[in-house]
């Protein structure tokens, strides 16, 4: 909506609608979404949502207070009596610098998020210059529209891919993957508590061979202990290819029945307990998050 306004495709009074939606949807909505990202353990996503949510709330508040009910000619609407071009340019440049930082971090996330941030960076730069050069305002407006479209694509791709269970829409598959050659490195035994911590953070099981190596490594470690133990598993950032879901589940079931006294599996801050004597087999349900980035896994029982 801001892009349409800046590109001069609508009446200037359209800014009234942009102000309302900017505060409640783009502003307060993003701040609330940032809080949810924190609860899911995604600090990078939270930082992005809070940054641009706060920007929108600030801009919308400023725009709201430029409304004058009736001007000298009896007209209603925005009069822009206090418009400091240099100050607004500096503010936009500062947010452009923040966007550049987000872009660098996002390069390891996926392809879609850096694209969105790249478009936003240049849009903000042109809008900052546009405070003094009119043609740059329109360029920045078109850039904002492209940024919005890319953001909607990320949102749609995450929802569609989550519902279908595989990357139907491209661009949000994580680029940086943790390559684990020695799966024994994820194994930590606490003799005093008779417990084992399996830190699978960022591990990717993309083939049956990966799963077999993982199972063999854990069997070796568990056999070395010589008794059943309590197990805690960190699944944050784990990715399991749909083609090996069943194979992975069978491997975990064998390990659980033979070596576990009890098990806690968690992703981010959510813990779920599974008693081994119930015969329940864990299933990892992966959800790729955005923004961001970022990835989180939800562990459930079947």
Q: Does 191 fall in a domain? A: yes
Q: H or E segment at 204?
A: strand 204-205
Range ranked top by mean pLDDT from 19-23, 139-143, 169-173, 259-263: 259-263
Same domain? For 260 and 127 the reply is no
Q: What residues contact residue 46 under an 8 Å CB cut-off, 6+ apart?
A: 34, 35, 37, 38
Q: Does 174 fall in a domain? A: no
Q: Does 176 fall in a domain? A: no
Q: Does 173 fall in a domain? A: no
Same domain? For 21 and 158 the reply is yes
Dihedral (CA of 52, 54, 55, 61) sign? positive
Same domain? For 270 and 137 the reply is no
Same domain? For 157 and 187 the reply is no
Mean model confidence pLDDT for the chain: 76
Out of 106, 131, 164, pick the residue that ends a domain. Answer: 164
Q: Does 86 fall in a domain? A: yes
Out of 99, 130, 164, pick the residue that ends a domain. Answer: 164
Same domain? For 12 and 151 the reply is yes
The 10s digit of each residue's pLDDT in 150-202 is: 988 988 888 887 777 667 788 877 666 656 667 888 899 999 999 999 988 77
Query: How many domains does the structure of the chain reveal?
Result: 2
Same domain? For 8 and 142 the reply is yes
- Kindly list the distances between the CA atom of residue 63 and the CA atoms of 17, 20, 66, 82, 100, in Å, as whole numbers in the listed order: 11, 10, 5, 10, 26
Same domain? For 152 and 244 the reply is no
Tell me, what's the pLDDT at 282?
39
Same domain? For 194 and 141 the reply is no
The 10s digit of each residue's pLDDT in 243-302 is: 888 899 999 999 999 999 999 887 643 333 334 444 343 333 333 333 333 333 322 332
Tell me how far the alpha carbon of residue 109 is from its chain's centroid.
9
Same domain? For 198 and 126 the reply is no
Same domain? For 262 and 293 the reply is yes
What is the domain range of residue 248? 183-301
Out of 164, 194, 214, pick the residue that ends a domain. Answer: 164
Pair 44, 291: CB distance under 8 Å: yes
Could you tell me whether strands 187-190 and 195-199 are parallel, antiparallel, or unpaired per DSSP bridges? antiparallel
Q: Does 239 fall in a domain? A: yes
Same domain? For 118 and 55 the reply is yes
* DSSP-H helix ranges across the chain: 2-6, 15-21, 30-39, 43-64, 85-106, 112-130, 134-164, 208-225, 245-259
> Is the confidence at residue 240, as pLDDT, over 70?
yes
Q: Does 240 fall in a domain? A: yes
Q: SS3 of 3, please?
A: helix
Q: SS3 of 63, please?
A: helix
Same domain? For 152 and 10 the reply is yes
Q: Does 170 fall in a domain? A: no
Could you tell me whether strands 67-68 and 77-78 are parallel, antiparallel, or unpaired per DSSP bridges? antiparallel
Tell me, what's the pLDDT at 73?
57
């Amino acid at each position: 909506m801001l892009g349409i306004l800046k590109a001069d495709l609508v009446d200037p009074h359209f800014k009234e609608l942009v102000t309302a939606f900017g505060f409640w949807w783009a502003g307060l909505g993003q701040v609330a979404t940032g809080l949810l990202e924190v609860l899911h353990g995604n600090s990078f996503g939270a930082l992005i949502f809070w940054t641009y949510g706060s920007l929108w709330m600030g801009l919308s508040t400023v725009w709201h207070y430029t409304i004058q009910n009736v001007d000298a000619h009896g007209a209603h609407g925005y009069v822009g009596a206090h418009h400091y071009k240099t100050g607004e340019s500096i503010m936009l440049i500062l947010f452009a610098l923040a966007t550049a930082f987000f872009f660098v971090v996002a390069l390891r996330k996926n392809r879609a998020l850096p694209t969105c941030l790249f478009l936003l960076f240049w849009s903000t730069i042109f809008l900052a210059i546009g405070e003094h050069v009119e043609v740059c305002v329109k360029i920045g407006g078109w850039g904002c529209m492209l940024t919005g479209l890319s953001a909607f694509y990320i949102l749609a791709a995450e929802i569609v891919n989550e519902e279908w269970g595989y990357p139907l829409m491209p661009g949000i598959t994580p680029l940086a993957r943790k390559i684990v050659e020695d799966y024994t490195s994820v194994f930590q035994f606490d003799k005093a508590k008779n417990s084992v911590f399996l830190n699978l953070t960022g591990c990717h099981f993309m083939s049956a061979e990966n799963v077999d190596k993982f199972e063999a490594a854990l069997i070796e470690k568990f056999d070395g202990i010589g008794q059943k133990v309590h197990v805690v598993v960190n699944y944050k950032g784990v990715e399991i290819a749909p083609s090996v879901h069943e194979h992975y589940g069978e491997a975990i079931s064998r390990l659980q029945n033979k070596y576990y006294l009890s098990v806690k599996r968690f992703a981010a801050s959510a813990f779920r307990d599974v008693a081994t004597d119930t015969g329940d087999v864990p299933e990892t349900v992966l959800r790729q998050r955005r923004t961001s980035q970022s990835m989180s896994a939800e562990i459930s029982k079947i």
